[in-house]
Structure 1
């Protein structure tokens, strides 16, 4: 053994039993305090991340069909289901809607929304088709919707989400 180890062992062997118990209780208390501090830091970070996740914006596009007598109205709804405002950076719809009818409802108007704030609970509706019972104004296909947005107070954070919907449009 080295000289330092021998001197520590000699020092401990010269301690009384009560001194050893006191020293060990101090070491155990210090370790408990360090463990409590580490647990506190981990819990604080976890709670902060959970709170941020709870209040973040949640923006989705949904497809809606409403029948009113013999007319069928088809629309897209952009809504923020989150608890904070979202800044819409861009929206992509693939493949784009193609209107086969005579009346154009600007079915792809959502792609023009850029740098637009969307408040919690706010929704934007866009009519993509208004047709009769047997009309086939829009081509039917499966579409994917991509929305890129960021939180209002956070810099350079975008939360892209996509949903695949089989819209009969």
Structure 2
């Protein structure tokens, strides 16, 4: 499969097909990389908000040059939970999807993919613990607030009777 830039694929977010952005100051670069389930592809660069709107997770918020699709991040997340696949093995599998001959390897973005995976897991944890859309921002999350309480352990006010401290010793 040819690389996206070799077939002149340009993803122009936020504009109708065929129209160019009048705010664009520089010609498109082929240094922006998207990691997806069918391989690792070089395309033109774009902005963070536009990337997120189109379900592309940027590797950085300052002039990103790499993004991964939400679907590939979710797929890795599930595979790592179910089959314990490592980021290294998954990334190499994606590289083989891009070009299995080894003659034209895709641009190396393993470190960026690792960062995206860590951020994705962190955002999922915040979301599941109810802190993803906190009014004071995620910075207000205190240490231990994302932990899941053990339902078998005694928690006053949750799974202990009201006057549990005053119970006779023989009723414990």
Question: Shorter chain as normaliser: what TM range?
Answer: under 0.3
Kindly name which structure, 1 or 2, has the bigger radius of gyration based on alpha carbons. Answer: 1
**Higher share in strand:** 1
Q: Which has the higher contact order (CA 8 A, sep 6+)?
A: 1
Please give the TM-score of this superposition, normalised by the length of structure 2.
0.21
Higher helix fraction (1 or 2): 2
TM-score (norm 1): 0.21
